Structure 1
Amino acid sequence: MGDGRSVFTLDFGAGRQALAARVSDRDGLEAAVRDLGLTGPRPAVAIVGGANGMTDADMERTSAVVALALLPTFAATRAVVVDGGTDVGVMRLMGRARDTFPLVGVAVEQTVVLPGRSAGPGDPAPLESHHSHFVLVPGTEWGEEAPWLADTATVVAGSAPSATVLINGGPVSADDAAESLRSHRPVLVLAGTGRLADRIQAVRNGARDDDQVAHLAEHPLIHIADVSDPAAVRRQLTALLRPGG
């Protein structure tokens, strides 16, 4: 194609396939999303957060809130969910939890292993095989997908509301959250899931941290809900996805 995109099918085996778009520039992203069948306007939720840095306890708490709060909200709002697409941490949880909602993984192609291909140099990660769609973007390093992930959620939503959910997280997740804020997208931080999410809550409660975390904590589009109260998480996310919310 001459507009910086291509669309193809990924075959993970065991009857699992996903439609993927390879995007080489920003101009091709909107057309690629359309080619993937993700036409809007439709609410979109970007999920950002922990990968290899999550403990077993973090994963257990996150699994519970995904099942009790996030999945019902996705179903009720008919949201498209966007995340980093690899088979680790929060992204693995989202893939394993997925039922019928579209789940779009956005990843730098050179940092992942496509099904049926050998791993290249470096430390590439496999894609999570339960995702329904993937957007593969240019770059060479982890974290370069952050602006693409935010932009994909924006394009998918169109005129519909969108929100970001931050679960656990490290430095890349801080960049992801910052990209959502630059897109004027509210970010719901799930306190109690560990690391960055808990640091943001601590700053809100008066603790000191580095400038990046402090900026996130002080931003008016940052909202915090405690993972121990799934009903409150569901209420807050539903409100953010309500038109005018």
Structure 2
Amino acid sequence: MRRLAHPDADIRARALGLPRGRPVVALLGSPEPLDPELSATVLPVLRTVLSEARRAGAVVLTTGADLGVAHLTGLASEALDGAGPRLVGIAPGRLVAADDAEPRPGELPLNQRHDTAVLVPGSRWGDEVPALLRVVDAVARKRPALVVLLGGDEGARAALVEHLGHDRPLLLLAGTGGLADELVSGALADEDIGVLARAGQVAVVHVDEGPERVLAVLRGVLGSKAGTPLRADVPTLALWPRLRFRAPDARPVVDPGFVLDYPLLADAIHEANEVIAPALHECEVESLRARERGRLLASAAILAGFATTSFAALQVWLRDVPWPGVLVAVAGAAAAVLAVVSRGADDVEFRSRAELLRALYFDHLSTPPPKNEAEREERVRALVTAVARHRHEPVGAA
């Protein structure tokens, strides 16, 4: 536990027992209990955040009190059984109980899963925000620093204005209420924080879409250099085919910050990401697998053709030796077979299915908003049926 002498005290990572030059993930939310159903949905997401932060060597910051997001972060860390990242809680000193002391009226206990607690002079939530941002600067230095917003209130708003003002990335978890949903819905579009969010590096993931989408954003940020734009880049094909195919990570179909520019499409994008995006990714992976197999066979055919030429030259040189002629025949036959097989290896079926699903994705976004909840549910059911048809029926019938 570390205490700051005054709110504007100079913060140095080593003085607080923290590492320097590490990526930082700050988990911000409202300092109040979360709805049990929402907590059950958020907990797997937080486990993914902590696991990826550990892999990237990142430090995770919360408010530290055993309540709300910080409490769930402690549960997620406990589920990782000691394989989590360094957890640091930053809280107003008069709102939390020191060490293991019994909390007095108006105080909250500190979450015991946090490794370090930094107590800031103050008696209300929000007093810790300036110190939290200085801790981010002290630890991250030139490494990436990502804020993940779950819900959020006025204290989180002040932190985000400062964070976005430094052109740092932000991940909004839509569906968690509070400030996160207000930003996604466009309710704050005319305010400073709305302008900064639309102009900044912001990704939007609905909490119901699961940890996979969050993981893609985390890897894009924590695996990059500071200042790298938050976007979904398409990986370039390797020059030489690989013997062992590795499926690429799922990537968002539309830019992660698209929802902020067009908030009326937020529900449609969420539905498309839940229903269409998984099938689309599966078809794209199968198409890439077939294409990689075709490239591998074509490369083998080229090598067999080169071997044929080499053995033929050897046969000319060794006129009275019969074995190069045998090798010429074997290599030539292999080259011919591989050339024929490679032409049929690049199966267009999954590529066609992927294009149909991609067209369905954007067709769903272009549909006018439903008039009521019943119409929305009917559209989702129709979307599920269309995805199943494009995914399983013969391509000509789709």
Question: What is the TM-score with the length of structure 1 in the denominator?
Answer: 0.80
Structure 2: which amino acid aligns with 1:46?
Answer: A
Distance 1:113 1:199, change over 3 A: same
Alignment check: 8 A CA contact 1:168 1:198 kept:
yes
2:129 aligned to which of 139, 146, 163: 146
1:29 alignment counterpart:
11
Q: What aligned pairs does 1:92-111 form with structure 2 within 5 A after superposition?
A: 92-98=71-77, 99=82, 100-111=84-95
Q: State which of 45, 52, 66 in structure 2 corresponds to 1:87.
A: 66
Q: Does 1:243 align with 2:222?
A: no
For 1:83 and 1:179, locate their aligned partners in 2 and report how far apart those are by CA, in whole Å: 17
Q: For residues 137-175 of structure 1, give each alpha carbon's deviation from its aligned partner in whole angstroms, at most 9, with x where no partner exists.
A: 112221110111111112111222111111122222222
Compute the displacement of 1:192 (Å). Answer: 2.0
Contact kept in structure 2, 1:109 and 1:139, CA below 8 Å: yes
CA RMSD of aligned residues (A): 2.2
Q: Does 1:52 align with 2:26?
A: no
Note if 1:41 corresponds to 2:25. Answer: no
Aligned to 1:114: 98
Pair member with larger Rg: 2
**Residue 238 of structure 1 aligns to which amino acid in structure 2?**
R
Instruction: Note the C-alpha offset of 1:208.
Output: 6.2
Query: Percent of aligned pairs with the same residue?
Result: 32
Contact in 1 for aligned 2:182/2:188 (Cα 8 Å): no
Q: Which runs of 5+ in 1 are unaligned?
A: 1-19
* Aligned equivalent of 1:191: 174
Shift of 1:107: 0.8
Structure 1 counterpart of 2:205, which letter? A
Mapped contact 1:54–1:168 kept (Cα < 8 A): no
The 5 Å alignment of 1:149-160 reads 149-160=132-143
Report how many residues are paired: 219
**CA offset digits 1:66-89 (Å, max 9, x no partner):** 12x312311221110011000011
Q: Which amino acid aligns with 1:157?
A: A
Contact 1:50 1:170 in 2 (8 A): yes
In the alignment, the residues of structure 1 paired with residue 218 and residue 2 of structure 2 have an alpha-carbon distance, to the nearest angstrom, of 28
Q: 1:17 aligns to what?
A: none
Partner SS, residue 94 of structure 2: helix
Cα distance per residue 1:99-148 (max 9 Å; x no partner) = 33110000110121113435456x22211111000111112221110111
What is residue 357 of structure 2 aligned with on the other side? none
Alignment-mate amino acid for residue 106 of structure 1: I
Contact 2:44-2:76 at 8 Å conserved across structures? no
Matched, 1:75 2:54: yes
More helix by share: 2
Is 1:61 aligned to 2:41, yes or no? yes
Q: Within 5 A, what are the aligned runs for 1:13-28?
A: 20-25=1-6, 26-28=8-10
Q: Indicate if the aligned counterparts of 2:169 and 2:201 stay in contact, CA closer than 8 A.
A: yes
| One-letter code aligned to 1:144 | D
What 5-or-longer segments of structure 2 have no aligned partner?
229-398
Match of 2:153 in 1: 170
* Contact 1:191–1:224 (CA under 8 A) maintained in structure 2: yes
| Matched position secondary structure for 2:176 | coil
Aligned equivalent of 1:126, options 100, 109, 116: 109
- Tell me the alpha carbon deviations over residues 211-241 of structure 1, each in whole angstroms, 9 at most, x when there is no partner: 3653454241332122214222111122122
Cα separation, 1, equivalents of 2:185 and 2:63:
26
Output the CA distance in 2 between the equivalents of 1:129 and 1:90. 14
Q: Which moved more, 1:176-185 or 1:166-175?
A: 176-185
Alpha-carbon displacement from aligned partner over 1:42-80 (angstroms, at most 9, x marks no partner): 11111101331521222112112112x312311221110
Tell me the distance in 1 between the aligned counterparts of 2:178 and 2:100: 34
Q: 1:226 aligns with which of 175, 181, 206?
A: 206
Q: Secondary structure at the match of 2:42?
A: helix
User: Which amino acid in the other structure matches residue 116 of structure 2?
Assistant: H
Secondary structure of 1:126's counterpart equals coil
SS at match of 1:135: strand
The corresponding residue for 1:11 is: none
Question: In structure 1, what residue type is equivalent to 2:20?
Answer: G
Following the alignment from structure 1 to structure 2, what is the Cα–Cα distance between the partners of residues 230 and 56? 18
Q: Is the 8 A contact 1:113 1:127 kept in 2?
A: yes
- Structure having greater relative contact order (Cα 8 Å, sep ≥ 6): 1
TM-score normalised per structure 2? 0.51
Distance 1:87 1:65, change over 3 A: same
The C-alpha deviation readout for 1:168-200, integer Å capped at 9, x for no partner, is: 222222222223223432211111222221221
